[in-house]
Every structure is written in C-alpha cells, then in structure tokens.
C-alpha cells in the first residue's frame, strides 16, 4: 500500500540522518533531510515533507530544493500563503527557476480567488535573502542542476532569443482576443474559440495559457493531435504546467498512446501528488488496453 512505499523511502534516510548527526557537517545533514522530504512528497505525505524541509532549512537556510519541496507540500495541503512565500523566496535565490515562477502564478490565482484583491495583506512576511547567500547558493544550484534541465533551459532560452518579444500593443491585442476566446468557450463554441486563440497567439506567442486553452478546445472538437502540439508548446515554456500535462494525457488516451498518457499523468502527479483528475484518469487508462 501507500504507507509501505513511504516506509521504504523513509527508513533508510532516517538511519543515515541518525548516523550522520555526529559525523557530518550541518550542510550534509540538511541535504539528507531534504532528500527524505522529496521521498515523503513523492508518496503524498506532505505533513512529514514540511517537517523535514523545516529541519533542512534550519541547518542550511534558503536551500532552494528544500524551499521548492516545502512549497509543493504546502500547496498540496492548500496552505497557499505559505507556499507563495516559499516560491517567492526561492526566486530571490535564483530568478530563473521555472517551477517557482509557475508556483507563484498558481498561488497568486488561488489567493486572489480565496481572499480577493487585498490577498497580499494576509501573507506571512517574505524573508529577504542576503546577497552573500544568493551568490553562494546560485553557484551551487547551477552546478547541481542535472544535464537535462540545463539543455531544456538552453533550448528554451535560445527559442526565446529567436522569438521577438511582443510589444505592449501586441500583448494588449492578444489579451483581448484571448478573452473573446474564453467567452466563446463558456458558450460551448469551441471552433470559434480556436480561431480567436490562434489570432491571439499571432500577437503574443509567449502566452502559455492561450496554448492550454486552445488545447482544451481541440480536445472538445476531437482534434487530438493538435491538442498534443499545443500542450507540447506550453510545456516548452513551462515544464511543470499541470493543465498542459493533463490535457496532453487526455489527447494521448484518445489517440491510444497509452504509455505516453501514463507518462504524462505520472509527471503531473510528481508535481501535484493529490490531483484528483489525474488520479482518476490513471485508474481508467489500463481498462482501455
């Protein structure tokens, strides 16, 4: 069962932590706590993940991995204010972290819906990361980033460099067209909405939500291959976009690409372990084999 999975991950780390307490320096111990937190997060045990991240951050303040893991756990626990603070703190250390930008956007939306326009007034204080810490941690983070992450970032930045940034006027036009598309979706006029989103993207091809919205319309009109393409474009700009992963999984399911569907759902559940829609779809997939 799930509990068993959590124990398999957690017990060895507990032993390492116990052994390491006397021998290792605080930084090594912080990494052990952070690694165990990642295991807890993967198993959906968010409360334990938060505890381990707290221990890790006490030993190594502003450790980006611990901040992001704790933010994900807070988000799953619907403690959106705390998640927002952790995502924003991580961005002070390294402003290029896609997951932190995406998390900040999700939390802003959730908090605006929950608390209205004055939601910022209810936030806990956001700590200021000292410059010396920022410089030290940015170096370590860049060294620690795996090769795949680097190559993805390079592809994204080279694409961004080739793609001319939209002007303020273009952004306004794109937003107006996108809103017209959104209104058509609400009326169930998906083909007309696709036209509006396509026009919007001509003015601003960097708006992730226009791609995920158009993907939803393509799913509705059974243009599954087009839905996959739009989700792929969204994921190039935002690797942890939940809607893009879920909608691409739906499209893959309809196209009978069941392995690709399951891969997308597993990737989504790594980011948001308790996503009800993804868990439900994952249960349905094997029945179609």
Per-residue pLDDT band at 1 (split at 50, 70, 90): very low
Give the per-residue pLDDT at 3.
42
pLDDT tens-place string over residues 150-187: 444 444 444 444 455 677 788 899 999 999 999 999 99
Q: Whole-number mean pLDDT of the chain?
A: 83
Query: Among residues of the chain, what percentage have pLDDT more than 90?
Result: 58
Region of poorest pLDDT, from 61-65, 112-116, 143-147, 264-268: 143-147
Per-residue pLDDT band at 138 (split at 50, 70, 90): low
The rounded distance, in Å, linking the Cα atoms of 1 and 276 is: 18
Helices 80-93 and 98-115 pack at an angle, to 10 degrees, of 150
Give the pLDDT mean for 136-144.
Answer: 57
Spell out the domains of the chain, with CATH numbers in brackets: 2-161 (1.25.40.10), 164-288 (1.25.40.10)
Closest CA to 207 of 160, 232, 182, 171: 171
DSSP 165: P
Res. 271: pLDDT tops 80: yes
Res. 201: pLDDT tops 80: yes
pLDDT tens-place string over residues 8-55: 444 455 555 544 444 458 888 999 999 999 999 988 899 999 999 999
Where do we find the tokens 């995502």? Answer: 87
Give the per-residue pLDDT at 94.
85
Higher pLDDT residue, 137 or 227?
A: 227
The rounded distance, in Å, linking the Cα atoms of 74 and 50 is: 7
Give the per-residue pLDDT at 13.
53
State pTM to two decimals.
Answer: 0.47
Query: Among residues of the chain, what percentage have pLDDT more than 70?
Result: 80
The rounded distance, in Å, linking the Cα atoms of 82 and 220 is: 36
Give the per-residue pLDDT at 287.
56
Give the per-residue pLDDT at 239.
84
């Amino acid at each position: 069962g799930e509990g068993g999975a959590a124990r398999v991950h957690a017990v060895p780390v507990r032993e390492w932590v116990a052994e390491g307490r006397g021998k290792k320096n605080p930084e090594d111990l912080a990494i052990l706590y952070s690694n165990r937190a990642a295991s807890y997060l993967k198993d959906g045990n968010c409360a334990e993940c938060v505890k381990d991240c707290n221990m890790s951050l006490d030993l190594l303040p502003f450790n980006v991995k611990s901040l992001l893991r704790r933010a994900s756990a807070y988000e799953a626990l619907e403690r959106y204010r705390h998640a927002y603070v952790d995502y924003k703190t991580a961005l002070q250390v390294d402003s290029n972290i896609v997951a932190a930008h995406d998390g900040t956007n999700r939390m802003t939306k959730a908090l605006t819906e929950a608390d209205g326009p004055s939601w910022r007034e209810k936030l806990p204080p956001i700590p200021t990361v000292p410059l010396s810490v920022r410089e030290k941690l940015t170096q370590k983070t860049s060294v620690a980033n795996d090769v795949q992450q680097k190559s993805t970032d390079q592809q994204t930045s080279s694409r961004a460099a080739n793609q001319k940034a939209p002007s303020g006027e273009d952004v306004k036009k794109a937003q107006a067209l996108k809103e017209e598309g959104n209104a058509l979706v609400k009326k169930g006029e998906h083909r007309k909405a696709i036209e509006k989103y396509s026009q919007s993207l001509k003015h601003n091809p960097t708006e992730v939500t226009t791609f995920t919205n158009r993907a939803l319309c393509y799913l509705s009109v059974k243009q599954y291959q087009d839905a996959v393409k739009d989700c792929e474009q969204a994921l190039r700009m935002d690797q942890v976009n939940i809607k893009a992963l879920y909608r691409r999984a739906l499209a893959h399911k309809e196209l009978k690409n069941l392995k690709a569907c399951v891969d997308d759902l597993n990737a989504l559940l790594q980011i948001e372990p308790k996503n009800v829609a993804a868990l439900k779809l994952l249960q349905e997939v094997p029945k179609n084999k």
